[in-house]
Amino acid sequence: MHTFFFNHIALSVKDVDKSVNFYQKVFQFKEIPNTASNSKTRWLAMGNNKQLHLIPRPDAEIKTNKAVHFALATANFNAFVAFLKEINIPYSDWRNTPNKDYVRKDGIQQVYFQDPDGYWIEINNDI
């Protein structure tokens, strides 16, 4: 039987500098060296040896929907939602109700918002 562990997520982005700034501003992810190549792909540390790789694709057409998202959990859910308001990042619940969180059937709170390229990010309190 094989065992697997999550390592990184890679996103195609139109403006890598803008995306790096967004993820650093919202999540305080620190930039780490791209040890794989000499490309302009930039890597961010997400914590616990997980990484976010931002691959510049200025001419790519990026299409997403809310069902395609990645989720991050925080014990400080309400404080993070207040931070989103403070930095003027619009968020919604699963049903697209602006500035509203959603409580799942299992009691987990969640909100959704988008990065500069339209990728959906879920924040929840499933800690």
pLDDT confidence of residue 57: 97
81 and 111 share one domain = yes
76 and 111 share one domain = yes
73 and 106 share one domain = yes
49 and 82 share one domain = no
120 and 87 share one domain = yes
Q: What is the pLDDT of residues 102-115, one digit of tens each?
A: 999 999 999 999 99
* Owning domain of residue 24: 8-56
Please give the share of the chain, as a percent, with pLDDT higher than 90.
Answer: 99
CATH number, position 29:
3.10.180.10
Neighbour-count burial for 98-107, b at 16+ CB within 10 Å, e otherwise: eeebbeeeee
pLDDT confidence of residue 123: 98
Q: What is the mean pLDDT of residues 10-27?
A: 98
Q: What is the pLDDT of residues 42-88, one digit of tens each?
A: 999 999 999 999 999 999 999 999 999 999 999 999 999 999 999 99
Classify residue 18: in a domain, yes or no: yes
Classify residue 2: in a domain, yes or no: no
pLDDT band for 28, please (50, 70, 90 cuts).
very high
37 and 76 share one domain = no
Rounded to whole angstroms, the Cα distance separating 100 from 112 reads 9
